[in-house]
Amino acid sequence: MIELVPAIDLIDGKCVRLTKGDYSTQKIYNEDPVAVAKEFEQFGIKRLHVVDLDGARSKHVVNHKTLERIATATNLIIDFGGGIKTDEDIRIAFDNGASIITVGSIAVTAPELFMKWVSDFGAEHIILGADVRDGWVSINGWKEDSKEELIPFLHQYIDQGVKHVLCTEISKDGMLQGPATPLYKSIMNEFPNCSLIASGGVSCMQDIAELNNAGIPAVVFGKAIYEGKILLNELATWAENQE
């Protein structure tokens, strides 16, 4: 069964969402992300994806105190990303309660450092973030498109033992128009043993069922919950029915 991973995106310690990564579209959904995380946990969610949007923009971890508060208040497995550029950043994230770290830009700009982290912390604790726009990997809070094509980029790391990949189709993100299922299926066809996390565009339970039926291991989603398109009791019931 597909793993359900709600997202909390942080700006100024508040739970927000953007559209296509555009900071000018920021919408605050809750001033208390800890309360949001606790509600997820009450409905049977086991894992949480936390994105430090301030960190992504400023190129260093910013919202680590909010991460610590969520980790202290819940038993959720937290994967954390946004602004992790240095050994100090990754240490801060782990020290403040992250179980898993998502790293994107560094994998493009400093491959040796990325693989050092995989070696130091273990492949189970590092997710390769591959944010895609028109088939090319995007970096630095989606403000820049790199010269890396997605599939060769993934080969570079999966062939070296990277297990977990979080792929966001940027054109879908925050649009509530359905996920890029063909993209995720193409990744799974190329890398059948990859622990792929699909992200972007989920708008309803049917979208999650579609990804599940396509054999995608996990899905990150947020706006659909905050906009009331997916109810937490629906998620809980669906998960029970899949067991």
List the end-to-end C-alpha distance of the chain, in Å, as a whole number. Answer: 8
CB 172 within 8 Å of CB 178: yes
Q: What is the pLDDT of residues 60-119, one digit of tens each?
A: 999 999 999 999 999 999 999 999 999 999 999 999 999 999 999 899 999 999 999 999
* Active-site hit among 52, 54, 131, 173: 131
Is 9 tagged catalytic? yes
Is 131 tagged catalytic? yes
Residue 125, pLDDT score: 98
Task: Count the helix, strand and coil residues of the chain and give each as a percent rounded to the nearest 5.
Answer: 40, 30, 30
Percent of the chain exceeding pLDDT 70 equals 98
Q: What is the pLDDT of residues 127-166, one digit of tens each?
A: 999 999 888 998 766 666 778 999 999 999 999 999 999 9
The tokens for 166 are 């979080």
Is pTM beyond 0.85 here?
Answer: yes
Residues whose CB is less than 8 angstroms from the CB of residue 66 and which lie 6 or more positions away in sequence, other chains included: 10, 13, 33, 34
DSSP 3-state assignment of 194?
A: coil
Domains of the chain in start order, with CATH, are: 3-242 (3.20.20.70)
